[in-house]
Structures are given as structure tokens and as C-alpha cells.
Amino acid sequence: MRAYKKISLLLLIFLCCWYATINAQDTLSVADNGSHITKADPLKATMLAVAFPGLGQIYNRKYWKVPLVYAGFGGVIYSIHYNTSNYNTYLRAYQDFTDKIPETDSYLDLIKNADPATYDPVLFPDSYDKSNEEWYKERMLRGVDYYKKYRDLSYIGIAAWFLLTVLDANVDASLSGFDVSDNLGLNIIPLSMPLYGQSLPVMNLNIKYKF
């Protein structure tokens, strides 16, 4: 465990140093009348996001998105753990319920509000009810299928969230050089346009850029 922590710390330090180096090389700063515009490289941002989640957002200087990235991963990982744990519990209970071995009785932890004498053909072969046995068996199978389904969806979810963070880094880098300064203006002016001897009102769209 200590070795794992040391390796993780060294990897994090290496990635931070790498980020500082590429950020100095692959961004373009433009100064104009006191303004400062930083243009990021979309390919570099994408590669960083693929290499390590959240690094693309750091490269784009969208630091506030990093906690959201890891919160999303944390939620999906918790879902995987929760559904996998319950899937294993129901699967083991079903196997123990149907294996006819008295010592394997993990299903008793799931069926707490019923008397085993009414449904267990192994522990109570003389008093159990066949319909109750089938009902609990079906209930365990439904639990197995339910948690297996959502476990698999959670694995898909973590892949989808990873792709979304990569896409977010790419889009942010692509729009980093988009001009939203006061030099860019949009004017809509009403005009009158003659058409076949008639004067029709129209709208004139005028885009201006001040150098």
C-alpha cells in the first residue's frame, strides 16, 4: 500500500511538471490594449484528458471543472461497487438455496422476515411449502438479474463519463481563442428595399471588428 501511494505521488508530480512544460510551449498569448487571450491547442488538451482525467481541464485553465470530473468518476465507481456487491450477494444466496447442502445458508441473511420451516426444503424437508420455495427462488433470481443489469450499465457509464471529460477538454481548447471582446460588434439596422416598384421593410445585419 505504501509503495502504491509513493508511485501515485510520483506520477502526480510528473504530470504536473509535464503540464507546466507543455502549457508554456503550446499556448499562444495575445496582448491587445491590456487584454490577455490564451489560445490552447485542442489536440494537446485532448491527449492530456485521455492520459489522465482532469489534466485537460487544468491545461485549459478550467480548474473549477476538476472536482466535477472526479465527482462524476466517484459516483459511477460507487455505483459499480454497490451493484457488484449486491449481485454477488444474491448470486451466492441463490446458489446456496439450490445446492441442497445444509451448511450453505447465506440466503437466510436475505430472507429475514419469514420462517425457514415454510420455504427451506433442505433444513425443513417435512414442513416446507413448495410454492414458497419457488417464490423465494424467483425473488433471488430477479435480484441477480437486476443488480447485474445496473452493474453493467455502471461500467458503460464510467466509459461514457470518461469520453465526456475528453470531449469537454477538446471543446474548451477549441473555443479558447474565440473573440468575445468589445472589438467585435453586431448591429441590426432596419432598411427599406425597393422591390418591383414597392418599398418593403427588411433587416440589415452588420458585423464590425475594430482593429
pLDDT at 38: 63
Helical packing angle, 130-174 and 42-51, nearest 10°: 150
What backbone torsions phi and psi does residue 51 show, to the nearest 5 degrees?
-70, -40
| 3 state SS of 29 | strand
More confidently predicted of 39 and 146: 146
pTM listed for this prediction: 0.67
Cell 485542442 -> residue: 42
| Partners of residue 202 on adjacent β-strands | 191
Q: What is the pLDDT of residues 81-117, one digit of tens each?
A: 999 999 999 999 999 999 989 889 999 998 988 899 9
Q: How confident is the model at residue 39 (pLDDT cuts 50, 70, 90)?
A: confident
The strand pairing partners of 200, in sequence order, are 193
- Cβ neighbourhood burial of 69 (10 Å; 0-12, 13-18, 19+): buried
Cβ atoms of 173 and 59 within 8 Å: the answer is: yes
Given a cut of 50, whether residue 31 has pLDDT beyond it is no
Q: What is the pLDDT of residue 205?
A: 53
Whether 176 and 95 have beta carbons less than 8 Å apart is answered as no
What is the pLDDT, as a whole number, of residue 40?
A: 83
Query: Are 157 and 79 within 8 A, CB to CB?
Result: yes
